[in-house]
Amino acid sequence: MENIDIVITWVDGMDPIWRKKKAKFIATDEDTQEAVRYRDYGTLKYLFRSIDTYCPWVHKIHLITDNQVPEWLDTSHPKINLVFHQDFIPKEYLPTFNSNTIELNLFRLKDLAEKFILFNDDMFINNPVYPENFFDGNQILDYGVYNRIAPVDVFAHTLINDLMIINKYFNKRDSFKKNWRKQLNFRYGKMLLSNVLTLPYKEITGYFNPHLPQPHLKSNFLKLYQLETTAFEQTFQNRFRGFDDINHWLCRYWMLEEGNYQPQKLSFGKYFDISEMKDILQEIRSDKFKLLCINDEESTQEDFEKWQGQLELAFQSKFPEKSSFEK
């Protein structure tokens, strides 16, 4: 079987050494949005347990941190590759607190397999997955579903920047002619209607973004870096997320437009905000979806600690035994 790796990006936002480093570059260290962006649920070990339980075929797990090491992690495990930012990101862009910079430099990570699945630390595997759930030959499994960008948050700027590059190289009507069987696919369920409604538009207005572990090809990152070096390096220069950033979804969109994908089932995974704790706990117990993303959001510290405790209890019940990745 061809090697498939997992990449996980993680930061412990309460680490005093890391906070002191960050404070040198930003005055609003206690800003609510910034705090949420770097807040750690304390559930990283359950992500590793979910991989050990439901994804034993993975070749390597690359845990990318800013010189932080989870105290429970057995770094001598043959599948673990602990990666610090300076191991693959050029020094002129360091230190960085921008996840887009970290992810878009993955083409420089020498030990990374051509096929990999990118996780954030708020993503989990909820029941068994297999290579064919993510890759079909050199094609990824994904959602070829168009949507529109709603300018409701800062993140929309990043998506617009991605789309400006995509529209520079692709015409939606040409893509539809080539990929219509993939775009009008019943695996998308109710999201299929979105493709129908955007048919009149020549320009690509946006995509359905599932916020789930994302399959990628390493060579695709390098190709796009070579094509759009200026856009990549502008992002790299932003120590924190900026309005002119692009992100790794650009690489995903490129594969969708080229037709280098096969339709993924809408029921493959589910995105939740952490405040939806009742539904989250139900899903952890029911195993309806294979993948989960439990996204942090602005809240009081009291609410966050309550949700964090409930989440940890649920995962401890689901994965009571230590994984092979733990000391």
**Which residue is listed with tokens 């992690």?**
73
Angstrom distance (rounded) from CA 147 to CA 97: 29
User: How much of the chain exceeds pLDDT 90, in percent?
Assistant: 81
pLDDT tens profile 205-224: 999 999 999 999 999 999 99
Phi/psi class of residue 67: alpha, beta or left (left: φ > 0; alpha: ψ in -120 to 50)? left
Q: If we measure between CA atoms, which residue out of 190, 194, 206 comes closest to residue 155?
A: 206
Mean pLDDT of all residues belonging to the chain: 93
- At residue 7, φ and ψ (nearest 5 deg) are -115, 130
Give the model's pLDDT for residue 53: 98
Model confidence band, residue 28 (pLDDT cutoffs 50, 70, 90): low
pLDDT tens profile 128-157: 999 999 999 999 999 999 998 887 777 889
CB neighbours of 305 closer than 8 A, spacing ≥ 6?
none
Please write down the HEC assignment for all residues of 192-260.
Answer: HHHHHHCCCCCCCCCECCCCCCEEEEHHHHHHHHHHCHHHHHHHHCCCCCCCCCCCCHHHHHHHHHHCC
Order of all β-strands in the sheet with 135-136 = 135-136, 139-142, 261-263
Whether the per-residue pLDDT at 35 is higher than 80: the answer is no
More confident residue, 35 or 305: 305
- What's the start-to-end Cα distance of the chain, in Å? 29
pTM attached to this predicted model = 0.95
Mean pLDDT, residues 106-118 taken together: 98
pLDDT tens profile 279-320: 999 999 988 999 999 998 877 888 888 999 999 999 999 999
Mean pLDDT, residues 236-248 taken together: 95
Give the model's pLDDT for residue 1: 73
Mean pLDDT, residues 22-51 taken together: 73
pLDDT tens profile 220-239: 999 999 999 999 999 999 99
CB 276 within 8 A of CB 283: no
Whether the per-residue pLDDT at 27 is higher than 70: the answer is no
Look at residue 54 and give its three-state secondary structure.
helix
38-52, 59-73, 128-142: range with lowest mean pLDDT: 38-52
Mean pLDDT, residues 97-121 taken together: 97
Whether the per-residue pLDDT at 32 is higher than 60: the answer is no
Angstrom distance (rounded) from CA 3 to CA 1: 6
